[in-house]
A and B are shown apart, each in its own frame.
Chain A
Amino acid sequence: MRLGKALAVTVATALLAVGCGGNATDDAAGGTVTLTVKTFGQFGYDDLVTQYEASHPGIKVKQENIAKLADYTPKLQQWLTAGSGAGDVVALEEGILVKLMGKPDQFVNLLDQGAGDLKGNFLEWKWNQALTPDGKKLVGLGTDIGAQGMCYRTDLFAKAGLPTDRAKVGELWPTWDGYLATGKRFAAAGAGVSFFDTAGPVYQNILMQQGDQTYFDRENKLIVDTNPGVRTAWDQTIKMIDAGLSGKIQMWSPAWNAGFKQGSFATIPCPAWMLGVIKDQAGPENAGKWDVARVPGEGAVRGGSFLAVPAQSKHPKEAAELAKFLTNPAGQTAAFKAKNNFPSSPQAIDDPAVSSAVNTYFNNAPVGKIFGQSAKSLQPVYLGPDNQVVGDGIGDALTAVEQGKLKPDEAWTKAISDAKRAVEK
């Protein structure tokens, strides 16, 4: 009978699925500890993990990776809320870490696990980001940083009568005023393409150079409207938009992707990881047309990540050891070699493997030196837990100005009032 068969199929299938069950626990019999490392994107830990297992016979390491950060973040939220699932070592992107610093006891205090000795292994500003303001809890150890250069199209620069050698290009813009002036020159030369893709990243870079705090002071009071640095960054960006330098292209959109090959924009602030994107998108026929110069101003970094040990881990001691291993200078150098993740450790940055790295696609640009320089010159900046919300609001306001929906002053007022509303709740 058709129904009977259907019922049997359902039950059988369900049983089959259930039968393959069995909880994935960390301990097998016989004392092996299995540590679960949760990551997003590509941290480049495969070889390191094999190495660690070889030198630590009682430890097995399981990596669980989610390709996109946007898919990883909701999972992280649910693991923390539900109190289960976060594994033993968890990757935290800078924007999220900053939020989580509001409740540091969700994570093991790494200072209790002997991490205090490792302070010298990290750039000062990176170390401070994961440290509570009273200095008593360390939530995470830094992995990579989005050290910036300024990528530019040599052929478009040549057409506009600008120098193409990266040292000379770097001299064009020691400050952002220089960048603006160069942009105006470029536009005046009538090449018909924009100077940069979109205003958001430019603003972000300028902002991070404006002193030791941005939207919040160290008491986590909102100072977005009173901090002159924020207004400076805003005004400079508006000047560039007004000069018509922005291509107004949304990042990661198909038009943006195509823009690298088509040459829709002449420059783009590029973190280390973006070099791979540019190379893949622009294609082999454009090899050598893209190059990397220094970024205007002193020091530029956007984003980066950390490794933390969740308090729910059943093996905090072993997990902390693993985290320390993965983030030590040798580990960071290996990750750079594997996946081009720029280290946050000064020793790794100075390691010849990193400092003498060149990128053949970009005219053999000495990327190790360029990014290292910009990473080291960055001064520590305090961000505050709601940094992302306020930053997104300002980013949206800039886009609205680019789209011509708001005048700059209206957009500023809106961004401020949105920020106040978001923070005051």
Chain B
Amino acid sequence: MRRGNSLVYLTLLVSLVLSVFPLYWLFVVATRSNDVIGQMPPPLVPGGNLAENVRRLFGAEQANFALGLINSMIASIAVTVSVVFFSSLAGFAFAKLRFRGRNALLLTVLATMMVPVQMGIVPLYMVMVKLGWQNQLQAVIVPFLVSAFGVFLMRQYAERAVPDELIEAARLDGCSTFGLFVRVVSPALRPGAAVLGLFTFMSTWNEFLWPLAILEADNPTVQFSLSQLATQYYTDYTLMFSGTLIATVPLLVVFILFGRQIVSGIMDGAVRS
């Protein structure tokens, strides 16, 4: 196989730079003092203020940043594990099992994704009031334990990645459907599950509107916490960006962890006929 030629590298390099630049700039601002925000051209070299900014960040009472990080960790992990598990189950069922009403139910799943998110806030808030879950962490976890997007993604992946012959063979061996799922399907679904896990973690971590609605500043998630760093009129950008930078680190960690899974998934089992 030929190695990539220079055009390929160039294109990828340009894409990389464009993709990464704002993140890098985030890092630069977090290490500087506040006068650099309006500057044109923007500063490209990191400064030495990071420790100072981080100190101010964790000292900012109104933001409760440390608690925000912890709450978001708990919520994101719980939701990710649950979504990946239940979406794999349902995705596999929709892709490979035959049952009555399958297509209709699948369309229903799809339809649920088409509901605009912002509208659900007031009625969902009412549900939370009934449950007594205002300002409780479970309010940002339980409604999201399953995801229509996840079901759809895993179904699409399962359709391609799990060959019918393998299922037939396992059934002939006397496997129950669940056993089939555990032993045959799950390994094949791993790359798709890695993608879903990545995105679910990220979207839960980045969620802002709903946590703002249901939580208060003394029990925030991380994005809510960051928004509290602003004052009504003046935004201390270095403070905010330091917080954002730290809030991004767990995402980068998950990134790298799951990224490996995708690669190892290829090594494990490119589908063979």
Determine whether the beta carbon of B231 is less than 8 Å from that of A262: no
Stretch at the interface among B98-106, B121-129, B256-264: B121-129
Determine whether the beta carbon of B38 is less than 8 Å from that of A262: yes
Q: How near does chain A come to B14, taking the closest CB pair, in angstroms? A: 26
Determine whether the beta carbon of B216 is less than 8 Å from that of A64: yes
Stretch at the interface among A66-74, A116-124, A201-209, A417-425: A66-74
Find chain B residues with CB under 8 A from A276 CB: 233-234
Determine whether the beta carbon of A67 is less than 8 Å from that of B134: no
The contact of A20 among B84, B132, B137, B229, by CB within 8 Å, is B137
The contact of B138 among A10, A18, A258, A274, by CB within 8 Å, is A18
The contact of A24 among B134, B142, B182, B234, by CB within 8 Å, is B134
Q: Does A188 sit at the interface, judged by CB under 8 A?
A: no
How many A-B Cβ pairs are below 8 Å? 120
Q: How near does chain B come to A256, taking the closest CB pair, in angstroms? A: 9
In the complex with contacts A71-B212, A74-B213, A82-B129, A14-B134 CB distance below 8 A: no
In the complex with contacts A13-B74, A20-B137, A41-B231, A65-B217 CB distance below 8 A: yes
In the complex with contacts A18-B138, A67-B228, A78-B122, A281-B78 CB distance below 8 A: no
In the complex with contacts A13-B74, A14-B78, A41-B231, A254-B38 CB distance below 8 A: yes
The contact of A21 among B74, B84, B136, B231, by CB within 8 Å, is B136
Q: Does A361 sit at the interface, judged by CB under 8 A?
A: no
Instruction: Kindly list 10 other residue pairs between chains A and B, CB separation below 8 angstroms, not including A18-B138, A258-B37.
Output: A3-B186, A17-B136, A20-B137, A21-B132, A42-B231, A65-B62, A75-B212, A82-B122, A261-B35, A261-B38
Determine the interface band of chain B, counting residues with CB < 8 A from chain A.
35 or more
Q: Can you pick out 16 interface pairs between chain A and chain B where the beta carbons lie within 8 Å of each other?
A: A6-B81, A9-B78, A9-B81, A13-B81, A18-B136, A21-B133, A64-B216, A66-B228, A67-B230, A67-B231, A75-B212, A83-B129, A84-B129, A84-B134, A85-B134, A273-B232
Determine whether the beta carbon of A40 is less than 8 Å from that of B232: yes
Determine whether the beta carbon of A81 is less than 8 Å from that of B82: no
Find chain B residues with CB under 8 A from A42 CB: 231-232
Q: Does A23 sit at the interface, judged by CB under 8 A?
A: yes
Q: Does A287 sit at the interface, judged by CB under 8 A?
A: no
Determine the interface band of chain A, counting residues with CB < 8 A from chain B.
35 or more
Q: Does A174 sit at the interface, judged by CB under 8 A?
A: no
When C-beta atoms are compared, the residue in chain B nearest to A264 turns out to be B38
When C-beta atoms are compared, the residue in chain B nearest to A81 turns out to be B122
List B175-204 residues whose CB lies under 8 Å from chain A.
Answer: 182, 186
Report how far A137 CA is from B38 CA in the complex, Å.
48
Determine whether the beta carbon of A10 is less than 8 Å from that of B228: no
List B229-262 residues whose CB lies under 8 Å from chain A.
Answer: 229-234
Determine whether the beta carbon of A10 is less than 8 Å from that of B38: no
Find chain A residues with CB under 8 A from B142 CB: 14
Report which B residues bind A (CB closer than 8 A).
34-35, 37-39, 62, 74-75, 77-78, 81-82, 84-85, 121-122, 125-126, 129, 132-138, 141-142, 145, 182, 186, 212-213, 216-218, 227-234
Q: Which 8 A-B pairs have the closest CB atoms?
A: A258-B38, A41-B232, A13-B78, A23-B132, A17-B138, A17-B137, A84-B129, A10-B82
When C-beta atoms are compared, the residue in chain B nearest to A9 turns out to be B81
When C-beta atoms are compared, the residue in chain B nearest to A260 turns out to be B38
Q: Does A243 sit at the interface, judged by CB under 8 A?
A: no
Q: Does A16 sit at the interface, judged by CB under 8 A?
A: yes
Q: Does A167 sit at the interface, judged by CB under 8 A?
A: no
Report how far A212 CA is from B74 CA in the complex, Å.
55
In the complex with contacts A16-B74, A84-B129, A280-B234, A78-B62 CB distance below 8 A: no
Determine whether the beta carbon of B81 is less than 8 Å from that of A68: no
Q: Does A28 sit at the interface, judged by CB under 8 A?
A: no
Determine whether the beta carbon of A13 is less than 8 Å from that of B122: no
The contact of A254 among B37, B141, B229, by CB within 8 Å, is B37
Q: Does A189 sit at the interface, judged by CB under 8 A?
A: no
The contact of B77 among A13, A20, A41, A68, by CB within 8 Å, is A13
In the complex with contacts A6-B85, A23-B132, A84-B134, A67-B122 CB distance below 8 A: no
Report how far A78 CA is from B126 CA in the complex, Å.
9
Report how far A18 CA is from B78 CA in the complex, Å.
12
Query: Chain A 243-262 against B: per-residue CB contact (8 Å), 1 yes, 0 no?
Result: 00000000010110110011
Determine whether the beta carbon of B228 is less than 8 Å from that of A1: no
Determine whether the beta carbon of B85 is less than 8 Å from that of A24: no
Report how far A85 CA is from B186 CA in the complex, Å.
44
Q: How near does chain A come to B16, taking the closest CB pair, in angstroms? A: 26
Determine whether the beta carbon of B133 is less than 8 Å from that of A85: no
